[in-house]
Chain A
Amino acid sequence: MSAVMGEGVDQMKLRTKYDNVAGYTFIAPFIIGFLCFTLIPILASFYLSFTDYDLFSSPQWIGLDNYKEMFFEDEKYWNSVKVTFYYVLAGVPLRLGVALFIAMLLNRDLQGIGIYRTLFYLPSIIGGSVAVAIMWRNLFGNDGAINALLFFLGVEQPIYWYQDPISALWTLIFLSAWQFGSPMLIFLAGLKNIPKTYYEAASVDGAHAGHRFFKITLPLLSPIILFNLVMQTIGAFMTFTPAYIISNGTGGPLDGTLLYSLYLFQQAFSFFHMGYASAMAWVMLAVIALLTLLLFKTSSYWVHYESKEE
């Protein structure tokens, strides 16, 4: 650092220079970490997606072959796409619906409401963990708690959840609905932001609960809904742990729970097709980006911002 002392202006410059250096130094760990562990690997995986790479020997350039095989030859791939879309389309609305419902319930001034909020948020704190998935697997087991409950309610025949690809997938969807905590908290914050006066005015005008919900709550909450919808959709596409645990890493029965990320993982770490797995990851990225874009594009039709002049 060669600095010339003297004029006030130079002093100023020097100071900002010092400030910048200090600032950059402070964020250096993050920058280096981001480069080493995020950006460079991402770019590397893009290159690898055009190669045949088994982790041991050096990657062989094969052009678009991975993508060709994925789209035109690999039935299992298309099955995993189908399963994932099913999971997202059924799971995300369900999860958001439950989250909003619970958020409405918790949006009151009751004694000890804080305790209730904590309790409802708990399942999500222990969220994507292995323990929860194992518990879930046992709940839906042939002689698990769910069947015991059904029996108690008078259902004679136990339901074999894992006997059928669709019902096995639904156990995953229920699990994701049950972990509604984070969207619920965000909804709760959104609900708190809606002025009470609106509801009071509506009541005076004779609006009943349904009216109030559809005419006030939903429109004013729509930006929050959009945010949750985008975040949850992205998250749902990347779901891995529960499917891995519940199916013992197989994605069974009959590949009914073979979510995209699980199949990607199998290709990468069971069969050492790192190139193929990288290609799959990039397709996933493109699909998620596209869907997010679509959601934003449609948002102008249903999201209502208060600040905007209608």
Chain B
Amino acid sequence: MKKITLLLLSLLLTATTFTGCSASGDSDQITLRIAWWGGQPRHDYTMKVIEMYEKANPHVKIEAEYANWDDYWKKLPPMAAAQQLPDIIQMDTSYLSEYAEKNQLVDLTPYMEDGTIDVSAINDESLEGGKIDDQLFGFNLGNNVLSVITDDNRLKEAGLNPPEDDWTWDDFEKMALQVKKEMDIYGTNGMNPPDVFFPYYLRTKGEHMYSEDGSSLGYSDDSLLADYFKMQLRLVKAKAFPSPDVQSQVKGLEDDFIVKGTAPITWNWSNQYVAFSQVADHSLELHFPPGPGQEKGLFLKPSMFFSIANNSEHKEEAAKFIDFFVNDVETNKEWIKGERGVPVSFKVAEEVQAVLPPEEAKVFEYVIAAEERSSPISPRDPVGANEVMQALTDVSEQVLYQKVTPEQGAKTFREQANKILARNK
């Protein structure tokens, strides 16, 4: 008898070990999963947005999954492999091709056509970045522009005026050197990571990082990258740029040079400005990055997208949430406030700008001003873009540590990048 009991008990144990966690709810209740990357402030207000949505739509329950950038992109692939992707996924330009071309994402065009996602107040250009051929796989949540954030008081101390709108790379270099000479601090944060700033530099020269079809690099003259490296190398050697190891110790906003007061200039995406000004105890300003060729170089970058997973069982409901996120004025005014870039709906953008404190409104003003001087976006990041970025980062490190010459670096990068891109075709 005892044995039988034991047997049953162990069977029970075995059984419970392998029961998955299958959720069962009311038939009319649905659960949506949403995933995003970001910092704590973003997690906090996004949870509030979700709360508001659940209140307005009692039949929807939303499960949030969030992480920092690095962890986020490592969590998604296994989910994709198991067909367990969250219904709504925050997407980045560098991964959009990867996921879309592997049939992980849904074309959102039908939902725009039937009005589930209202695009009446959104310009087509704003949505362009989420398109692959004629299908829209990522819905832009806000626009970003590359910017130079300055601490004008520090610049004055070095006897410098804040950058003019039409300043050049030469001005930039002189400025950095003078700051170093006068104050013995870094001129700038050093334009890290290279995969953000080199494409801008290329655009100012009328070239692009990737070719139209994504099978190779878009520029053909290696001296472009070599020159770009040389400029940085001059500044690193003069200690007007932090060396790569010092750069790599910056783990977050609060460590950044401009916040600590060890540099008066930092490069970043415009939506980061708000966080910078919150963390820094001194006032900051936004400026255009240097030219010549600014008009060619500047562009409105989709800061991030919402995409809907192909394995989602509630695609329609997911689309409704995206609509709410981009078009609901109250939610944007109260919580989102352009933290994910300047809202794509001009209605929402206007309303939000009207209620923002002056400091946060600067970003809106900057992006609107930049829009006047910007050109269409470059060909999209192809599959393998992340590997190419890694290759660029590696080469950049080798050049700045003076292990290879700028010319060698540019050549090596081309070989590696084209090999990676060809493999993924």
* Contact present for A33 and B77 (CB under 8 Å): no
B351 within 8 A of A: no
Residues of B close to A28: CB separation below 8 A: 10, 14
Q: Mark A17-32, 1 if CB is under 8 A from B, else 0.
A: 0100110011011001
Q: Does A2 contact B (CB under 8 A)?
A: no
Decide if A253 touches B244 in the complex (CB within 8 Å).
yes
Name the CB-closest residue of A to B74.
Answer: A269
Q: A21-B7, A25-B14, A56-B81 are known contacts. Are A272 and B248 too (CB-CB below 8 A)?
A: no
In the complex, the chain A residue whose C-beta lies closest to that of B423 is A52
Q: Report if A271 contacts B (CB, 8 A).
A: yes
Q: Which residue of B lies closest to A36 (CB)?
A: B18
Instruction: Determine the distance from Cα of A201 to Cα of B16 in the docked complex, in whole angstroms.
Output: 60
Which residues of chain A (208-250) have a CB below 8 Å from chain B? 247-250
Pick the interface stretch among B128-136, B204-212, B397-405: B397-405
Give the number of residue pairs across the A-B interface with Cβ within 8 Å: 80
Q: Say yes or no: A18-B13 contact (C-beta < 8 A), given A248-B251, A270-B390.
A: no
> Quick check: A162 and B249 within 8 Å, CB to CB?
yes
A55 touches B14 (CB 8 A): no
Interface residue A91 (Cβ < 8 Å from any Cβ of B):
no
Identify which of A21, A141, A247, A270 gathers the most chain B CB atoms within 10 Å of its CB: A270
Which A residues, 152 to 189, have Cβ-Cβ distances below 8 Å to chain B? 160, 162-163
B77 pairs with A272, CB closer than 8 A: yes
Contact status A26-B10, CB under 8 Å: yes
- B103 part of interface (Cβ distance < 8 Å): yes
User: What range describes how many residues of B lie at the interface?
Assistant: 35 or more
Q: Which of B70, B102, B248 contacts A162 (CB 8 A)?
A: B248
Check: A252 CB closer than 8 A to any chain B CB. Answer: yes
| CB-defined contacts of A272 to chain B, threshold 8 Å | 77, 98
Q: How far is the CB of A72 from chain B (nearest CB, A)?
A: 14
Q: For the complex, what is the distance from the CA of A269 to the CA of B81, rounded to whole Å?
A: 12
- Whole-angstrom CA separation of A25 from B103 in the bound complex: 43
Known A22-B3, A253-B401: A160·B245 in contact at CB below 8 Å: yes
Which chain B residue lies CB-closest to A255? Answer: B394
- Name the CB-closest residue of B to A160: B245
Question: Is B19 an interface residue when CB atoms closer than 8 A count as contact?
Answer: no
Contacts of B11 in A (CB 8 A): 25
For window 374-419 of chain B, which residues contact chain A by CB distance below 8 Å? 384, 386-387, 390, 393-394, 397-398, 401, 403
Determine chain B's interface SS by DSSP, over half rule.
helix
Q: Distance (Å) between the CB of B388 and the closest chain A CB?
A: 10
0/1 string, A129-167, CB within 8 A of B gives 1: 000000000000110000000000000000010110000
Interface size class of A (residues with CB under 8 A): 20 to 34
Identify which of A22, A54, A56, A141 contacts B249 (C-beta below 8 A).
Answer: A141
Contact B398 A254, beta carbon cutoff 8 Å: yes
Selected contact of B386 from candidates A32, A247, A248, A271, CB within 8 Å: A271
Residue of A nearest to B390 (CB): A270
Cβ of A57 under 8 Å from chain B: yes
Question: Can you name the residue of chain B whose Cβ is closest to the Cβ of A273?
Answer: B387
* Beta-carbon contact of B103 and A56 below 8 Å: yes
Q: Which residues of A are found within 8 Å of B397, using beta-carbon distances?
A: 252-254
Q: How far is the CA of A22 from the CA of B11 in the complex (A)?
A: 10
Q: Are B386's CB and A270's CB within 8 A? A: yes
Of B70, B81, B248, the contact of A252 (CB 8 Å cutoff): B248
**Interface presence of B17 (CB below 8 A):** yes
Listed residue (A54, A56, A269) with the most chain B CB atoms within 10 angstroms of its CB: A56
Contacting pair B248 A253 (CB below 8 A): yes
Contacting residues, chain B, for A25 (C-beta < 8 A): 7, 10-11, 14
Cβ distance B311 to chain A, nearest Cβ, rounded Å = 11
Given the complex of chains A and B, what is the CA–CA distance between A248 and B248 in angstroms?
8
CB B239 to nearest CB in A, in angstroms, measures 13
Cβ–Cβ < 8 Å partners of B70 in chain A: 248-249
Q: Which residues of A contact B403 (CB under 8 A)?
A: 254
Across the two chains, which residue of chain A brings its CB closest to B384?
A: A271
Enumerate chain A residues within 8 angstroms of B98, measured Cβ to Cβ: 272
Closest 10 CB pairs of A and B: A56-B102, A163-B245, A55-B81, A25-B10, A162-B245, A269-B74, A271-B387, A55-B77, A28-B14, A29-B17
Could you list some 9 contacts between A and B, CB below 8 A?
A22-B10, A25-B7, A29-B13, A32-B14, A248-B70, A248-B248, A253-B248, A254-B403, A270-B390
